[in-house]
Amino acid sequence: MVGRPQPHLAMLEPPVRQLCAYAVITLFVVFFFASGLSYHFSNDDLPFLSAYTTQRFPDFSQYPDLKTLSAHQFPLDDPSRRIIIVGDIHGQYEYFSKLLEKVSYKPASDVLIHVGDIVTKGSHNGSMQVLSYMASHNTTGVRGNHDQKVVEWRAWIHWIRSQRGGPRWLQHLSDAWSAEQADSPNPEAFVESQRKKSKHSHWWKKVPKGWKLFGDHFTIARAMSDAEYEYLRALPLTIHIPNAHAYIVHAGLLPSDPTYTPDHPGQPLATVPRLPKGSERGKTQDETNRILRTLQERAILSNVPQNTVPYNVLNMRSILHGKVHKGSAGKAWSKAWKHDMKRCQGFNQELSVTKPQKELLPCYPSTVIYGHAASRGLDIKRWSIGLDSGCVYDRRLTALVLGSEDALSSSARRDDNRDLNDDDKDREEHVDEPEEDDTDTLEANQHGIPFGDSHHGKIVSVSCAR
Ligand SMILES: *[C@@H]1O[C@H](CO)[C@@H](O)[C@H](O)[C@H]1NC(C)=O
Ligand SMILES: *[C@@H]1O[C@H](CO)[C@@H](O)[C@H](O)[C@H]1NC(C)=O
């Protein structure tokens, strides 16, 4: 009598359980599919690690949020301050110091920024020196693909050390490696021989496929201090600077989804963003435009699907068959960027576009400052500035200096839509859309370059030849 409702409940239970079981199975299938796809997507020689982390590892990648710099942090309009943005350093501490000296870097008033890949490829000590400098000064910058791998290794080390027997296993291995180093320090051969010695150790399964124990990234990850790790972990993938209408990113960004035409209504630059309700009240046209531009610039980051994939912004070089590509075959992403930016005519068609264009777009141009593409060298286009001039390959270390008086000299005012490259050769293999004005080559160090809407910058570099 009292227990009446219970049978009723009991009858309900099995179907609910069944449903749950089906849901779990479905989720599993979907999950497997998804992780399989992401693995396929990033199956390159630089192992991209979140593909593994979705399977049976914790999240080693630790991607941070987008960072936005204020007008104070990027003082483009303050004549008493300068912004110095340095290309890929790769542990070349000596040349980094020379470059700071050459630009007469003044820490009290200048803002120093790097575009990522501050470590690896150079000597271990050099990487540690650069990292120490950046971390102790809390220098603004973005993560590079190599910095990313160092972060992932450190997270992995923490994970191993958190497990019973983990610290001992890692110590044992490290001791064996130290003993080995006297002869021929080949990490891969060393790890292979260790694996053979302890074939059945479950620890080997905890090393993600493709990761190189005792390689550059691992040894830096192991050697760095907690503060240095925290510094790398805090580096964003992308910096947005609304007041300069600029981004800083290690490898690149796309202006639009290449699987659609640039004027497709789904593209951020093809649509005037909608203002939040009531936010235009009491604002001048200029103020409203500024809000709209910021919204549109954010939309490039969040609504172009390729830009939301961390691997892409850390590794992209070109677009091939409508897809982001990490090699340089295909069209440089910076050409796609320029192609779209040149068509921006403003929200009210007020920008005078120099020549009649096919697809005018309701947008304002923005600028990407990046590194990563050492094979292309210094690559300055009207709306993108590629600063990796290959210091680690004995070429040059380059900085973009904004806001200095000498950058504003009259000779600097070569305001045109031309580009600046440090070598004449177009290294792209299959250029599917050559642009008539990409062939101009100007002397990099003698003239300022136009930056953003109305500013000028200067390119300063030092030789890294030994
Ligand atoms: C690297 O630095 C350590 C000390 O920090 C030093 O003992 C070692 O000799 C240096 N190695 C090279 C190749 O300069
Ligand atoms: C470094 O600067 C960032 C802001 O850019 C800040 O959030 C962070 O707390 C700083 N870290 C240290 C250790 O001062």
**Helix, strand or coil, per DSSP, at residue 47:** coil
Residues 6+ apart with CB under 8 A from 318: 324, 325, 327, 328, 329, 330, 331, 332, 333, 428
**Number of compact structural domains in the chain:** 3
Per-residue pLDDT of the chain (466 residues; tens, 9 = 90+): 333 434 343 444 445 556 545 665 555 444 444 443 333 333 333 444 444 444 479 999 999 989 999 999 999 999 999 999 999 999 999 999 999 999 999 999 999 999 999 999 999 999 999 999 999 999 999 999 999 999 999 999 999 999 999 999 999 999 999 887 666 678 888 999 898 888 888 899 999 999 999 999 999 999 999 999 999 999 999 999 999 999 999 999 999 999 999 989 999 999 999 888 887 788 888 899 999 999 999 999 999 999 999 999 999 999 999 999 999 899 999 999 999 999 999 998 777 666 555 679 999 999 999 999 998 899 999 999 999 999 999 999 999 999 865 544 433 344 344 455 544 333 333 333 333 333 333 334 455 899 999 899 999 999 999 8
Give the SS3 label for residue 306: helix
Residue nearest to ligand 1 atom 10, measured at CA: 125
Q: What is the pTM of this model?
A: 0.81
Q: Is the CB of 126 within 6 Å of ligand 1? A: no
Residue 422 neighbours by CB under 8 Å, 6+ apart: 377, 378, 379, 389, 396, 444
Gap between the Cα atoms of 86 and 393, Å rounded: 16
Distance separating alpha carbons of residues 154 and 160, to the nearest angstrom: 10
Alpha-carbon distance of 7 to 4, in angstroms, equals 7
| Residue bearing the CA closest to ligand 1, atom 2 | 125
- The predicted structure's pLDDT at residue 348: 82
What pLDDT does residue 14 have? 47
CA 123 to ligand 1: nearest atom: 13
Structure tokens at 39: 């693995």
* Amino acid letter, 12: L
Closest ligand to the CA of 123:
1
**Domain assignment of residue 60, yes or no:** no
Based on the fold, state whether residues 201 and 310 are members of the same structural domain: no
Does residue 226 sit within a domain? yes
Q: How far is the CA of 125 from the centre of ligand 1 (A)?
A: 6
Q: 331 with 434, same domain?
A: yes
Give the C-alpha distances (Å, rounded to integers) separating 225 from 100, 131, 173, 305. Answer: 24, 10, 20, 36
Which of 230, 265, 288 is a domain's end point? 230
| Same domain as 249, residue 187 | no
**CB of 105 closer than 8 Å to CB of 112:** yes
* 343 and 438, same domain (yes or no): yes
